[in-house]
Structure 1
Amino acid sequence: MEFSEHIKTANVEDVVLRQPLHPPSRGTLCITGHHLLFSDREEGSSRQVLLLLRNIDAIEKRTSGSSGTITIKCKDLQVLQLDIPGMEQCLNIAHSIETLSCLDSVSEMYPFFYRPADLSLQDQWGLSSPESYYSQMKELHGRWRLSSVNRDYSVCPSYPPAVIVPNSIDDDTLRKVAKFRQGGRFPVLCYYHRKNGMVIMRSSQPLTGANRKRCKEDELLLQAVIDGSDKGYIIDTRSSQQAQQARMTGGGFESKSCYSHWKRLHRQMERGKALQESLIKLVEACGDESNNMDRWLSKLENSKWLSYVQTALSTAGLLAECVERDGHSVLVHGSEGTDSSLLISTLAQLIMDPCCRTLDGFLALLEREWLQAGHPFQQRCAHSAYSHTRLQQESPVFLLLLDCVWQLWRQFPLALGFSEALLLRLATEVYASDYGTFLCNSDQERCAVGVKDKTHCLFQALLRPREKDYYSNPLYEPTELAIWPSVHPQSLQLWRGFFLRWTQQIRHLEEAQEEIRNMVIEWGKLALS
């Protein structure tokens, strides 16, 4: 397809841009296959605004007389307004934006065309792999093995080609277990706790159904996980009632009689539509300009976003307690095992493992727990809070993770090796990016369309010296201790840096933080000299 087919008007002169934190400016608007480019033509100004079309969540057009106005609402929550002379030109631009901002074909998206001078397509794609993770974890090699049962993605389409499983379980057994778990997501190891040898496993729900079907191989696999231990815990991210209801549609849960050494704990976590609606309500509250405090607090509470943050952090804390304090292995799952399970296993690892709290370690953790583990980014992040189109699969689970990590970062300002700027960058990139990292829904899909061969990796780019310096926390002091978050309501705050990022107050806060950052770096240099 030629992008030019969708561009009836490529350039418009005398356009007025109204953008948060900037005075209105007049200039030239250009539209390309992937970007809107605005160039300020006023004397003495060299200001340019480059907006990735993929970042546009919704547009609203209004015409009056011979001119028109386009309001652009972005996935990063920025709202822009373009005053365009000429009604026909306005309608043409609006039509091009609507079409080009939601192209479905992955290979037509901008990451396949982005070629920065300082990166090469020959560079390593990604930071790690299940194979390298296993080879580095020497402690695993006795009781655990690396299986390539899924090398052609036929056993589980959403898993990577290699997974870590108990040494005593052969590949034929894994195939049988996969048929008993939704989507083929059989239990696999995602974390080994060096302090006591306990592990976190991930899977989807067992397909017990109304007839309470059993799978001896599944029972055998879970028994092998806790071999030599008195019990393990299963954290089901659904309520007990939801798990019971799932049996009516073929799903279910592990029964006490068949999994006698496992104790099941239910912790209901919202996902899907409820989470998406929560984000929409929160963004609406943040855009309320009435300046009425009671109304603001009421809208904030009604969005339920902070209660979802609280639930995620407390469930992750429970998981970490089972492993770190009680010394038991844990299996985590909900229904599909691609959302809430990844959320709490990631947060639990941040709580327990100092290696995951460095900049490099955190990005490698995201790669393992979200990209390789099959979180369907393309479905979940198709739209943000403004879109008029509501797709069934949308859900801001990854944004919820970043908010939870920000709460940890705020409560433990010295314990995490990265800055808030990194979390903000990731929150933007997951919805619209120059890089291929968050494209597609699984490793299999990325391989099928050539993402790893034809696009650049965001995580590699973030670890270049200049970027790494910017996204590092200058106050970082490594600690081997676990960092236990407080989940009391008064301990959790709205992530203003993201949800209020386009307001003047936040801009002043950013400037102050940057000044403090520079002072800390200078003091560090003086101390070294």
Structure 2
Amino acid sequence: MNIQKKKVTENQTFKSYVNFESGQESKVNTTTNTNDTGISTCRPSTSSSTDENDFSDDMYLGNLSVILPPNGKNREDIVDLQPKLLPGEAIVRQANNVLKFNNMSNHKTGISGALICTNFKLSFVTLEDYPSNLRLRNLLLQENDICLMNIESVYQVVNGRRKKVVSPVNISGAVEVVEIHCKDLRVYTFSFKFCSRSEPKDLLYAILHHHCPSLAQLLFAFDYCGVKEVKSVHPTSSKYTMIQDWEMELKRCGCSSWRVSLWNESFNVCDSLPEAFVVPPEIFGKDVSKLSPLYNGQRFPIWSWGMPHGNVLIRSSAVYDPQNLSRKLTEAIKKAIPQHGGLHFLNLDNVCPSVRDIQSSYSKLQEICKPENVHSYWKLESTYLSSIESTHWFHHLSACLNISLKIAECMSIRKDSVVITELGGRDLSCVISSLVQILLDPFCRTQHGFECLVQKEWVALGHPFQERLGQIKVEEVHQSPVFLLFLDCMWQILQQFPSKFEFTETYLTNLWDTVHISCFGTFLFNCHRERINVCSKQYDSRRLHSSWDWSLQFTKQDMILFKNPLYILSAQENENHPRPWSLACDGPWNSRNRPFTPAKKMEEKENTLLELDPSVTRMQLWTQCYLRWVPMAQVVGGGLPVVYLQNAVIWDEICTLEKLLLSLPEPANLRYRRVASDNNLFRSEGDNSCGVKHDSHIVTSAFPYSPIGPFDCQHFHRVPSSSCLLVDVVGTDQELDE
């Protein structure tokens, strides 16, 4: 976009198409042109060339320099600042002439526009089309959109000091600067200095009212459902709420001796368990009713997962009176497992961090990952390692991975069964049981299998997402990112076994982001009973969109970034596994149509255990998730994304060579010939200058994300030994349909 620049001062300037005299009088001598909509543009009296994006607090009283649209530009195109609305979305409040400060700019650089609050998001709309490195674009949210459910806290900034605002009563005086802190660690700063007096408070009231409603049915998912036909990436995916779902899981695991009980129908035994769950074959409905009151929350011990040789993993809440507990349940479990296997009980409250410990540790980690400005970033840099150590986040990760590995070894090597107990049975038991299955079951390492695992262990078995993630108004004492702890543990395993998983860290990061998008009903409830109660006749629970339908958020090209090019699934004998995802080859050379030959056969078909190192020294910071919005933390041409992209390019070349070798009668002629890929999905080229070009996709350590734009690319660290990769994703429709 060509723009004309006008100058009043030499230092502080900013990009704008709005009227800065609407909020209060300006000392700049300007001539004002008002259009039909009432929005004006200021034309300074002098002209000169300035920097584009700078403004600071001391320029409010007159040190203004306004960048005007080009001559001849249609005014309708200039002032029409409207957000892109989803079906069922409506505008609640709007403030014009808002200044959005750049991240970590110390309130000196930014851009102007309109800030609009809807019943779904907080959207900052500007006319400026600035360059962006953002590779992964969400179809539901634009780059400057914030889902209201993603807002963690709102701060009012007065004289450089932040004050947390939890209700309209806490608002003091005129609203000039507001900080929005998000659950994904983004921070947005807006200035209302030039808005009318009523707009900032009205907008802030709307944000406080809508970002954390008192009832789940007030969330946007119920306005969004029904506007589009619900579909699923996996139409046969189980919800683990019906008897058929659990019977299929028993058959898959080879635990046919266990049976599904329907004694919790209408939730007459336990509120937090589904109506159908798996129990030992000798336990009947009357036994469930008799023994459930002995457990906290009446969460009866249930089957979670099993191995083909018969040993199982069982989840349970704490027992009120262990001495008087009937031995019938224990005997029934022992009869259902092999005679050569033992039965072990493990109390997770003694070996795992508590919910409060996780929340306290994560709060400290947030302070490290959200520096206020450049000075605080460099100050923290000198004590970075000790600061991370003081959060104890790595210790919590190590503890969960360590106990999961011990349980997995107990089940895989000694063929024993394990009963894990927890006070509530809905938090750390979800983490440990999921990690055990990841370490032992290759199916859970596929994207579809991982989604089934989360649906079973977390959604169906009643992890309290509403309380832990603060989706509705709850006491802060109940909040804790237990699910993020699990995803971080998954990322740690992924780093130690990069070829064992079908999905990538980008998939895990987007799964964490999806939890905070209120368009979906998967993670909106504490248990299945709440889902049924909230989804009354007015709202059909089957109409709520599923978080696993990734096509609602991303294009087919973007979803390619979810797939790991190094993935090799260890095939079991006498079992048919689909061939892993391929990043190339279409038509008759489609990888899913070719026979799958495992790289190495296991000596023992049960030996699928991932023997990871759970020590604290092996733990790393998940930079893509925690530091992706910090510009100074990014490294151009380095980091894990560059390794991933190189692997993708190499895999693409291998697929092309396979196709060419099979098509030629004498493949030996290719010994000294390098063939370029003619249908590759990834294409990269080097840029030795390491310069930032317009509309280029510069690979940084935060790929496929970028800091909140516009941003100063000079803050990026560059790797001197490598060139900056400019990456494009190309390919035919058939390749992307795979």
> Is this a same-fold pair by TM over 0.5?
yes
Is structure 2 residue 493 aligned with structure 1 residue 408? yes
**Which whole-Å CA distance do the structure 1 matches of 2:316 and 2:658 have between them?**
48
Aligned residues of 2:150 and 2:516 also touching (Cα < 8 A): yes
TM-score (norm 1): 0.84
* Corresponding residue number in structure 2 for 1:397: 482
Aligned residues: 489
Deviation at 1:356, TM superposition (A): 0.5
From 302, 308, 319, the counterpart of 1:206 = 319
* Corresponding residue number in structure 1 for 2:136: none
* Corresponding residue number in structure 2 for 1:51: 146
Deviation at 1:59, TM superposition (A): 1.1
The aligned amino acid for 1:458 is S
Deviation at 1:120, TM superposition (A): 2.2
The aligned amino acid for 1:34 is F
Deviation at 1:309, TM superposition (A): 0.1
User: Percent identity, aligned pairs only?
Assistant: 26
Q: From the superposition, tell whether residues 45 and 506 of structure 1 become closer, same or farther in structure 2 (CA, over 3 Å).
A: closer
Provide Cα deviations, 1:328-361, integer angstroms capped at 9, x if missing partner.
0111111111111111110010001101100000
Higher mean alpha-carbon deviation, 151-160 vs 453-462, is at 453-462
**Which whole-Å CA distance do the structure 1 matches of 2:653 and 2:433 have between them?**
37
From 93, 117, 136, the counterpart of 1:10 = 93
* Corresponding residue number in structure 1 for 2:596: none
**Which whole-Å CA distance do the structure 2 matches of 1:442 and 1:8 have between them?**
31
* Corresponding residue number in structure 1 for 2:349: 238
Backbone CA RMSD of aligned residues = 3.1
Deviation at 1:491, TM superposition (A): 1.2
Q: From the superposition, tell whether residues 50 and 311 of structure 1 become closer, same or farther in structure 2 (CA, over 3 Å).
A: same
From 212, 215, 220, the counterpart of 1:110 = 220
Higher mean alpha-carbon deviation, 444-453 vs 400-409, is at 444-453
Aligned residues of 1:18 and 1:80 also touching (Cα < 8 A): yes
Deviation at 1:9, TM superposition (A): 7.7
* Corresponding residue number in structure 2 for 1:263: none
Aligned residues of 1:271 and 1:395 also touching (Cα < 8 A): no
Is structure 2 residue 570 aligned with structure 1 residue 479? yes
Deviation at 1:398, TM superposition (A): 0.6
Q: From the superposition, tell whether residues 484 and 383 of structure 1 become closer, same or farther in structure 2 (CA, over 3 Å).
A: farther
Aligned residues of 1:126 and 1:460 also touching (Cα < 8 A): no
SS state of the match for residue 191, structure 1? strand
Q: From the superposition, tell whether residues 150 and 43 of structure 1 become closer, same or farther in structure 2 (CA, over 3 Å).
A: closer
* Corresponding residue number in structure 2 for 1:277: 360
Q: From the superposition, tell whether residues 44 and 413 of structure 1 become closer, same or farther in structure 2 (CA, over 3 Å).
A: closer
* Corresponding residue number in structure 1 for 2:595: none
* Corresponding residue number in structure 1 for 2:264: 150
Is structure 2 residue 573 aligned with structure 1 residue 488? no
| Structure 2 counterparts to residues 21-420 of structure 1, below 5 A | 24-42=110-128, 49-62=144-157, 68-84=176-192, 85-86=194-195, 87-114=197-224, 119-120=229-230, 127-130=237-240, 131-135=244-248, 137-138=250-251, 140=254, 142-194=256-308, 196-208=309-321, 212-226=323-337, 228-229=339-340, 231-239=342-350, 268-288=351-371, 289-382=377-470, 391-420=476-505
* Corresponding residue number in structure 2 for 1:246: none
**Which whole-Å CA distance do the structure 1 matches of 2:131 and 2:516 have between them?**
31
Deviation at 1:370, TM superposition (A): 0.5
**Which whole-Å CA distance do the structure 2 matches of 1:55 and 1:292 have between them?**
26
Is structure 2 residue 503 aligned with structure 1 residue 429? no
**Which whole-Å CA distance do the structure 2 matches of 1:483 and 1:310 have between them?**
15
* Corresponding residue number in structure 2 for 1:253: none
Q: From the superposition, tell whether residues 178 and 125 of structure 1 become closer, same or farther in structure 2 (CA, over 3 Å).
A: farther
Q: Which has the higher contact order (CA 8 A, sep 6+)?
A: 1
Higher mean alpha-carbon deviation, 329-338 vs 482-491, is at 482-491
Q: From the superposition, tell whether residues 42 and 468 of structure 1 become closer, same or farther in structure 2 (CA, over 3 Å).
A: closer
Aligned residues of 2:91 and 2:119 also touching (Cα < 8 A): no
Is structure 2 residue 628 aligned with structure 1 residue 501? yes
Aligned residues of 1:8 and 1:92 also touching (Cα < 8 A): no
Higher mean alpha-carbon deviation, 108-117 vs 410-419, is at 108-117
The aligned amino acid for 1:512 is V
* Corresponding residue number in structure 2 for 1:258: none
SS state of the match for residue 190, structure 1? strand
Q: Which has the higher helix share?
A: 1
**Which whole-Å CA distance do the structure 1 matches of 2:618 and 2:227 have between them?**
44
Aligned residues of 1:10 and 1:32 also touching (Cα < 8 A): yes
Structure 2 residues not aligned, in runs of 5+: 1-89, 133-141, 160-172, 372-376, 572-607, 660-738
Deviation at 1:452, TM superposition (A): 2.6
Higher mean alpha-carbon deviation, 472-481 vs 215-224, is at 215-224
The aligned amino acid for 2:145 is L
Deviation at 1:440, TM superposition (A): 1.0
Q: From the superposition, tell whether residues 359 and 230 of structure 1 become closer, same or farther in structure 2 (CA, over 3 Å).
A: closer
* Corresponding residue number in structure 1 for 2:546: 457
Higher mean alpha-carbon deviation, 489-498 vs 141-150, is at 141-150
The aligned amino acid for 1:270 is P
Deviation at 1:457, TM superposition (A): 0.4
Q: From the superposition, tell whether residues 371 and 393 of structure 1 become closer, same or farther in structure 2 (CA, over 3 Å).
A: same
Aligned residues of 1:355 and 1:361 also touching (Cα < 8 A): yes
* Corresponding residue number in structure 2 for 1:252: none
TM-score (norm 2): 0.61
Q: From the superposition, tell whether residues 192 and 8 of structure 1 become closer, same or farther in structure 2 (CA, over 3 Å).
A: closer
Higher gyration radius (CA): 2
The aligned amino acid for 2:561 is Y
Deviation at 1:27, TM superposition (A): 1.4
Structure 1 residues not aligned, in runs of 5+: 1-6, 240-267
**Which whole-Å CA distance do the structure 1 matches of 2:198 and 2:520 have between them?**
34
SS state of the match for residue 478, structure 2? coil
